[in-house]
A and B are shown apart, each in its own frame.
Chain A
Amino acid sequence: MTTLPAHEAFRRKDLIGPLADSIAREAEGLGPVRIMHVCGTHERSVNRFGLRALLPPNVRIVAGPGCPVCVCPLPELLAARALALKAGTVLASFGDMLSVPMPGGSLLDARRSGAELRVVYSAADALAIARAEKKREIVFFSVGFETTTAPTAALLTALAREAAISVKSAVPNFSVLSSNRLVPEALRALLGSGMLEADGPNGPSIDGRNGPSIDGLILPGHVSAIIGSEAFRFLADDFGIPSVVAGFEPVDLLASIRELLAQKRRGIHELRNLYSRAVLPEGNLKAKALMAEVYENRDAEWRGLGILPGTGLALRSAFAAYDASAKFRKTLSESVAGQEAAIQDEAAGCLCSRVILGSAEPGDCPHFGSVCVPENPLGPCMVSEEGTCRIRLEYGEAT
């Protein structure tokens, strides 16, 4: 007997059909059910495999704030642009970040005014540039959830240890502009403030079909692999929301939806880990220790959502030598001066801030697929590979 690769086993059609049938049975008579995921990769899988078409009409899957590029706020983008424009400084970041629209033009647009940019895939790529180009300051614009934070933490601790042993091996021209965000803390803040409720500040949903309150959460598999499924226990315990940690294949997602419906049917709310092939209850202890060594929580703004307490990460003072926000304090404080009005102003009519909360669908936006396309994005949800608008357009929602 041959062994299927893991992802093939979780695409088996002989499992998918019966799962869809049992979802229909669990959903019968429940009334409208809204299930939210908070991960761009989940949205991509749902679209790629056409999973919404397998669900009964009363079950809706909505995309929550699962795209780190989409939630990066304007002040942090303006700070990054100011550093990119500063003479002798190079800004290194992920490709998606460079195209995010902002007042005065994206980072890519700033290239015409002399901004120095490099596309990298990790902090390690940025560090390699710093080692090769010692006369220039290399700033890694670090955006992402726990999955990208952990490798940056590992790199910074290794760098600090190297520098302690030998001054020669230090890389004084490398620093990190931390715009990382924490998923569980964000969910706690959003649920605590009622922003995900039907009568919350951003509800009810724009289409009036039903409000943005949620009956179940599909939790991000990759983030959970780092922080552990237990990090999400509060969702069931404190907020009474059925919650499932899920992988990214059709069987993973359908089994998670069935589990959430079964809990709803039985009137219970529990945390379940259905991605146990990758996620431990306690997570990756080494990664968590490194993150705790390097970072401390801070209050942080999310684009379109405002300040969410404790959802961002700042470098601890022991790592100040690598902290771009300390190293370039003057440039950064000037970067937002005079931009207050612009910061308040989303592109007219852009619904990104509601799409991120699941209270509007991309198709509700008048610009979606007409004016706003990946080549000319009005809002961040159309830029990123993880953005809900871009994914829906790629998979044909506009046609």
Chain B
Amino acid sequence: MKYVAMGHGAGGSLTDEIIGIARSAFASAYLNAGLDSAILPSEGERIAFTTDSFVVKPLFFPGGDIGKLAVCGTVNDLAVVGARPRFISCALILEEGLPFDELERILGSMGSAAAEAGVEVVTGDTKVVEKGRGDGIYINTSGIGFAPEGLDLSGADIEEGDALIVSGSLGDHAMTILGLREGLGFESALASDCAPLGGLVRALLDSGARVRFLRDLTRGGLAASLNELSELRGVSLEVDEEALPVKEQVRALSEILGIDVPSMANEGKIVAVVREGDADRALAAMHAHEYGRDAALVGRVVGCDAAPEPGHARVRIKTLSGALRILARPSGEKLPRIC
């Protein structure tokens, strides 16, 4: 068995071994060109640029691993602003002693996820830290996409009555990671929803539905995203807890652990605000896509006349008992190291 050594980050021939693995996993002519920067073609539109780092524990989990997560996370951040994801970078911080076969698996799954998402990994970097100074591997990815002129998904034109749609079951990623960590024996029934959502977003935009706002539901889940929207645009939102799509195993685990579904993290779900009359059209487009089969209308914009007030989110949820309560922005870090 071969392991990562300090020399693999030193820039010499050992580093070339890792570059070799990356080149075969990513199959990119830009990467293979071996320049200090990749020189990329412009597609004549606005450039979307984003970055994200990944520190998930454990590295491998049902439905994915840190590599797939690192591609999907960045690709999805590009997709929800309406951009076509095109290029990403891959910066690795490896811990001395990481088995080489794990590194190969992770880079291989980055390559597969990138291929599915239609992005190329065009540049990268490797550093190695001493054993005990990391958790096997940390990954940073940055991404570039191209967004058509005039497309605005920032929620600037939200109107009262607009529909809130989520693209599928909530909490799968959070409960998979937590189930694994806690060893509760639910693992076999659960898988992370980690997926690249560029295709789903394109299907939604191409449906002709008027989409006002999109966000991918990661840490803090739906509760965090809706509170951010409410603060950003000064809108009041109402969610129906009963309408939230949730898998039975996720619900069971959330009951045991006392974590509410709306605040649980996802890695392959979006929330969309869509013009009231276009909700059915948007849902139909999402239902026809692999990653949107369980999409559901979960709430409404109930007011949008107030100026944004920081700290005064107005997001409410109709609970299972029929009472309306505040849906607070999740406080604290209940689930560290989840992505």
A residues near B (Cβ < 8 Å) are 7, 11, 13, 16-17, 44, 47-54, 250, 254, 373-375, 385, 393-399
- Give complex CA distance A44, B255 in Å: 12
Decide yes or no: A395 and B321 within 8 Å by CB, A373-B332, A374-B331 being known contacts: no
- Give complex CA distance A67, B331 in Å: 20
> Could you write out 19 A-B pairs with CB less than 8 Å apart?
A11-B320, A13-B321, A13-B322, A16-B321, A17-B322, A49-B323, A50-B321, A51-B321, A51-B323, A53-B323, A53-B325, A54-B322, A373-B331, A374-B331, A385-B258, A394-B330, A396-B325, A396-B328, A398-B328
Closest A residue, CB atoms, query B242: A13
Q: Do residues A394 and B328 form an inter-chain contact, with CB atoms below 8 A? A: yes
List the A side residues contacting B325 at CB < 8 Å: 47, 49-50, 53, 395-396
Decide yes or no: A399 and B321 within 8 Å by CB, A44-B258, A48-B260, A385-B258 being known contacts: no
The verdict on B319 contacting chain A, using a C-beta distance below 8 Å, is yes
Secondary structure of the A contact surface, majority rule: helix
Q: Do residues B324 and A250 form an inter-chain contact, with CB atoms below 8 A? A: no
Q: Do residues B321 and A250 form an inter-chain contact, with CB atoms below 8 A? A: yes
CB < 8 Å neighbour of A7 from B255, B317, B326, B329 = B255
CB < 8 Å neighbour of B321 from A54, A374, A397 = A54
The verdict on B25 contacting chain A, using a C-beta distance below 8 Å, is no
B residues near A (Cβ < 8 Å) are 255, 258, 260, 311-313, 317, 319-333
Q: Do residues A399 and B313 form an inter-chain contact, with CB atoms below 8 A? A: yes
Closest B residue, CB atoms, query A250: B321
Q: Do residues A49 and B328 form an inter-chain contact, with CB atoms below 8 A? A: no
- Give complex CA distance A224, B332 in Å: 32
Q: Do residues B324 and A396 form an inter-chain contact, with CB atoms below 8 A? A: no
- Give complex CA distance A17, B321 in Å: 8
Q: Do residues B326 and A395 form an inter-chain contact, with CB atoms below 8 A? A: yes
Q: Do residues B312 and A399 form an inter-chain contact, with CB atoms below 8 A? A: yes
- Give complex CA distance A47, B258 in Å: 12
- Give complex CA distance A395, B324 in Å: 12
Closest A residue, CB atoms, query B326: A396
Closest B residue, CB atoms, query A5: B252
List the A side residues contacting B311 at CB < 8 Å: 399
Sample of 19 further A-B pairs with CB below 8 A, known A7-B255, A11-B321, A399-B313 = A44-B258, A48-B260, A49-B320, A49-B321, A49-B325, A50-B321, A50-B323, A50-B325, A51-B323, A53-B324, A54-B321, A54-B322, A374-B331, A375-B333, A385-B258, A393-B328, A394-B331, A399-B326, A399-B328
List the A side residues contacting B331 at CB < 8 Å: 373-375, 393-394
Q: Do residues A49 and B319 form an inter-chain contact, with CB atoms below 8 A? A: yes
In the A-B complex, the 10 residue pairs with the smallest Cβ-Cβ separation, listed nearest first, are A396-B326, A50-B325, A396-B328, A50-B323, A374-B332, A250-B321, A49-B321, A53-B323, A50-B319, A49-B319
List the A side residues contacting B323 at CB < 8 Å: 49-54
**Most chain B CB inside 10 Å of its own CB: which residue of A17, A375, A394, A397:** A394
List the B side residues contacting A394 at CB < 8 Å: 328, 330-331
- Give complex CA distance A385, B324 in Å: 22
Nearest-neighbour CB distance to chain B for A72, whole angstroms, equals 20
Nearest-neighbour CB distance to chain A for B336, whole angstroms, equals 12
List the B side residues contacting A399 at CB < 8 Å: 311-313, 326, 328-329
Closest A residue, CB atoms, query B318: A50
Nearest-neighbour CB distance to chain B for A390, whole angstroms, equals 8
